Structure 1
Amino acid sequence: MNAGGENTGARVTGGADESRGESTSTRLDYVVPTGGSSIHLVPSASGMRHPLDRRNRLRRASWKLVLRRSWNDFISDALMDRAAVLAFFMFLTAAPTVLAAYSIATLIFARNREQVTDLTQEAIGKYVPGEIADEVRSVVEVIVGSAAGGTRALILAVVIGLFSSSAWVRAFSRSANFIYGRVEGRSILSTWVTMWGITVVMVVGAVTIIGASLLRESVVLAVFEPIAHPLGLVDELNFLTSIFLPIWRWIRVPVILVIALTLVAVLYYFAPNVRPRRFRWLTLGSAVAVCCVGITWWLLGMYLRYFAGASAYGAIGTLIAVIIACWVMNIILVVGVKLDAEVLRAKELQVGYNSERHIQAPSRATVAARKYVHNQCTLEQQARELKRTSSKDESHPE
């Protein structure tokens, strides 16, 4: 029986204590573990203590379990291979992501499109080695060439670019579901819309981070000076240039850090088919991911600035360094999900959930999971039928 009462032939296992005995008329939350045909019931939110209660802090033994399981599953589940797949999708979606980001920036600064171009050229000159800077500029110009039209063309470029860029987010969602040990329960339409929404947030956040890192007086003057006098905002412009920007130099890094933590928190919360019952702005996994990705990005920048030109491989060496850096960053993001999953498991164990094998957090949806179970049961039934008929043929040869 499935959770809705339909007979699928699936084996049902309980995640809550058997003594709790919920009524069959109550709607049951359940998950479908990865690679199986069983339905795993999870305890209701009202029946047990909330595992993410602030008072439910991890004990020393729980921390040991988190680290031990994270390391063991990192090796046995080949998470480095999954990160390599994510790195592939990252390169596959690089062009549409650049197009979407450039189009969004151009829409925001519709009256100062030349400033967007200048900032793009400045970013290339700052972060790309000189011997390949011209090639990178040519590639970027080709990518953003379709964004040179009017507002409608820009909006269309944003929509198409973000839809194509969401391939990486969908791949990340599949990896996150595997780490949490469950199949995707959302329908294809729901999954794609959700992943597209996450992509919008990620790209807008990336544009904001880039803009924050490049914000300076010349940018403020180029954007606001043409409209300051007609709108009578001269005092506000003076405030921005004389008071805000000097303070901004000191708070730039903390603001960028907060934005990055928010983006990772959104990715970790909405991508997997997991409903942990409370959104967390800061988690162990997101903090580790942001810090380690920042270090990796800094090391890549140091290599590009000081060692890329001296490499015997030239431009190929730079490309190899970028590929390795993207792979490492995806490994870090996957490890962050794993840490959050194991922390959630440990907190569930501390309040009495049977989370030894399966994390008990309910799924966001079960539509696709029910179809998955039905298909698995059908395949198993066909396999048993094949085995039975083959046995009869063997026992009654002609």
Structure 2
Amino acid sequence: MSSPAESRPETGTVPSSPTKLGLREWLAVFKRSFKEFLGDDCMGLAQEIAYSSLLAFFPALIFLVGLLGLINGYDTLQEFLGPVAPGAVLDVIGDIQKASEGKGGASLVAFMAGAAGAVWASSGAMNSVIKAVNRAYDRTETRPFWKVRLIAIFLVVLTGFVTAALFLLIVFGGPLGEAIAARAGLGGAFDLVWSILRWPIAFVAILIFFALVYFLAPNRDERSWRWVSPGSLVAGALWLVLSGLFALYTSFAGSYEAYGSIAGGIVLLLWLNYSAFALLFGAEVNSELDRQADIRASGGPNAGLIERARRQ
């Protein structure tokens, strides 16, 4: 760890943004972030987030089935996904459609039960995220239950939109661009531009999601987009690296084929775990940036133990 003298070249002043920190201060931030990531048991917290998220997946699936049955949306969904989705996905949708035909009342019950279960289970999973981010920020939760639950529900809805966007951009991005070009009469130039732009768009969506989590989840009074952006960038880059390596492993290893039908659940659980790693490490980076600003302002390495400096 850098000495206090190295970490605070300009004591007594509050930096207006993370860009005002020096190189030695940034090195001190990352060094402490790694230490705190292990000290706060972020690996265990990431597993808790992954399991909670996986449990929330099934009520959400029931909700989707009920919704499609109520609005007769199976044909529309198949028409939309037909040009881009793998055949196995379309087969699953077809099986669900056959099982729900002639069961309007059952679809209504499934929709209502799925809506209640999905909201409760998903917000419970997001509560695990809020608890973990509070741990990373060294905060104790003092907000009322209803307020935390409302924040969790908002983040759940946000997660749904971001997940859908990433699913379309990353998984079906190539075929989707070809389908758009074909239907709109666009040439091959569009395919080239789309193949390049869809990755930055996906990355920006991830950055916005992480920034909103860091802005809303921790129990803190002082909030600033400038001071959550660095952790969002770190978490987004780490998430892309981990997701890419994991996708590469699953595509070449083939070891999950032995698990048959549960292979998808295993892969999803591991990917959620790695995503939580990235989320929590970004939170640790933001927390240590706060601490570094306090060190600069107070002129001592114990600034993290006192009230954090307010940044406008």
The answer to whether the aligner puts 1:125 opposite 2:71 as a matched pair is no
C-alpha displacement at 1:189, in angstroms? 0.9
Change (3 A) 1:67 1:241: same
Report matched runs for 1:281-296 at 5 Å.
Answer: 283-296=229-242
Identity %: 20
Alpha-carbon spacing, 1:122–1:342, altered in 2? closer, same or farther (3 Å): farther
Please list the CA deviations of residues 114-169 of structure 1 after superposition, one character each: whole Å capped at 9, or x if unmatched: 3423666887738xxxxxx68x9389949x969x9699989855575344312221
CA RMSD of aligned residues (A): 4.3
**2:168 alignment partner in structure 1:** 211
Aligned residue number for residue 344 of structure 1 = 290
Q: 1:360 to 1:327 in 2, by over 3 A?
A: same
Map 1:302-321; keep pairs closer than 5 Å: 302-308=248-254, 319-321=265-267
Residue pair 2:162, 2:209 contacting (<8 A) in 1 also: yes
Q: Secondary structure at the match of 2:20?
A: coil
* Equivalent in the alignment of 2:25: 62
**Structure-1 residue corresponding to 2:56:** 93
Question: Which whole-Å CA distance do the structure 2 matches of 1:112 and 1:310 have between them?
Answer: 32
Structure 2 distance, partners of 1:304, 1:183, is 39
The higher radius of gyration belongs to 1
- Aligned residue pair count: 287
TM-score by length of 2: 0.72
Within the candidate set 152, 157, 181, 2:138 is matched to: 181
Q: Residue 84 of structure 1 aligns with which residue?
A: 47
Letter in 1 for 2:59: P
TM-score, normalising length from structure 1?
Answer: 0.58
Specify which of 270, 295, 298 is matched with residue 216 of structure 2. Answer: 270
- The residue aligned with 2:6 is none
Give the 3-state SS of the residue equivalent to 1:356 in structure 2: helix
Distance (Å, rounded) in 2 between the aligned partners of 1:243 and 1:153:
48
2:33/2:284 contact within 8 Å kept = yes
Whole-angstrom distance in 2 between the partners of 1:337 and 1:306:
32
**Which residue identity lines up with residue 137 of structure 1 in the other structure?**
V
**Separation (CA, whole Å) in 1 of partners of 2:33 and 2:179:** 48
139, 148, 156: which one pairs with 1:191? Answer: 148
8 A contact 1:169–1:271 mirrored in 2: no
Aligned residue for 1:283, secondary structure, equals helix
Alignment partner of 2:75 out of 88, 92, 114: 114
Task: Give distance in 1, aligned partners of 2:169 and 2:259.
Answer: 34
Tell me the distance in 2 between the aligned counterparts of 1:243 and 1:80.
Answer: 44
Partner of 2:8: none
Look up the match of 2:124: 167
With over 3 angstroms needed to count, the CA separation of the structure-2 counterparts of 1:316 and 1:244, relative to structure 1, is: closer
Gaps of 5+ in 1: 1-47, 127-132, 223-236, 363-398
Gaps of 5+ in 2: 1-11
